[in-house]
Structure 1
Amino acid sequence: MNKKTEFSLEMRKLRRRHIPLLFLMVFTLITAWTYWCIDDLDISRLNDVSAMVFTNLLLMNTILCPIVLAALASRMCDMEQMGNTYKWLCTMQKPEHIYRGKVMAGSFYIILFTLMQTILFWIISQPYGAGAVSHLPGYFTTIFLTSLCIFILQLNLSLKFTNQLTPIFISIGGTFTGLFSWFLNRWPLRYLIPWGYYASLCNAGYIYDETTRYTTYSWDTYPFLWMAVLAAAIIILYRHGQKHFLETVRENM
């Protein structure tokens, strides 16, 4: 079975599961929150608005994306897990093809969601200079790789646990840990968990002067080393998840 067929079969399973609506609602919330920040802040006290938008968008992704990705993974697996239908599905597809199809379907939604956010970052930053254009590839890469890593982890958990609340609770815990990692930059926490890589791959920083109440933003070089670490983690999680799923199906057949 070719990859196109695997992808289309998995997308058919997701019909009427309201996955696009879920991502659209989160995107709308991120958009509204970002425009509110722009409107509420005194822009004259910022030396680089695009860096502020970049940082705040990644922070919002840290809060919202893990839960959405956990819900996506859960929706992909809940009926099959509850009905224990994998042994029937495997009469038509190989187990590794089922797993690969789920990853491809999830990646498709993540790519669209990331592309929408990248366009949003560009639109919001345009009135404040053209400097944001050079940071669009970095923004896309950060959101896509981090979200993909979290999704594959959540998919592995959803395939492991029959009760889909367990992966959701793990995602909530990971979200809070990832959020704390933004404010604990002296600790290596953000480099040890996938939820922390929205912060780890953020190459915009700021210094706030309490006396003048002036925030100075700056750009650093993109952290390609940590990007490579995250890419390696994605490959490891994918191979481990596929192997574990194959073993689980064989045990139940």
Structure 2
Amino acid sequence: MDYKEQFIALGFSPKENTVYIYSKKYSHHGGYAIHVDFEKSIINYGSLIVSDSKTTQNFSQLENFVVLECVDRLLEKGYKPQDIILEKVYPSGHGHSGRLDILINKDGKAFLMIECKTWGSEFEKEFKKIRKDGGQLLTYFQNDTNADYLMLYASRLTSGGVKYCSEIIKIEDNYRTAGNVEDVFARWSKLTYSNGIFEDWVNAYEYQNKLLTKKDLIPLTEDDSGIIFHGFLSILRKHSVSDKPNAFNKIFNL
């Protein structure tokens, strides 16, 4: 993998008077910077973004680049670096602990929990687990019920730039009083939302979901149109509609 290509796509550039270090400054955060050392394969998130562990601050696995891209997106959106905690450690049961990839605080309390996965199978695998039993995110939430939103997140670099996808759980008040993860899962409506955090219409530290956006639309293929056409014919036959000039109106008045 061309690691530099990943960082350059995010706006990183060579640091002055260095050979192996690239950095990116965030002007709306007082010039706060993230540095990447290609010689040591280390990601330095600066002094304000704290971390309970260092396992995602290197090049050892692809998921670490998703975490970096997500942090970059958060900073660009307007989230303060001091409100970002990486690899937040929570008990996960049976004497073990789990690490939430990214925790966002708001006014000193948990606001948004983000679990990052690589694009494709890993994202889909975790999403299926969330739908089955709540997955990692509901376990983390049970340890800090102040959180308002839980997000499963993935991103990838394409020829058209960095693309991302997310599934968001909006926390309702009755979830906070559940006694355990199983109870939270039982109370959850099982609804997730694909937007509302990073989109242009919403500000940092806010949430606003839209049911359908332009980026959700996909081109209609010839095969798709054929399926739709034959579907309409089936409806017409089922309801004995033979007046073809008025068939469209009749379908919508069935």
Same fold per superposition (TM over 0.5): no
The structure that is helix-richer by fraction is 1
TM-score computed with the length of structure 1 as normaliser:
0.29
TM-score computed with the length of structure 2 as normaliser:
0.29
The structure that is strand-richer by fraction is 2
* Higher RCO, 1 vs 2 (CA within 8 Å, ≥6 residues apart): 1
Larger radius of gyration: 2
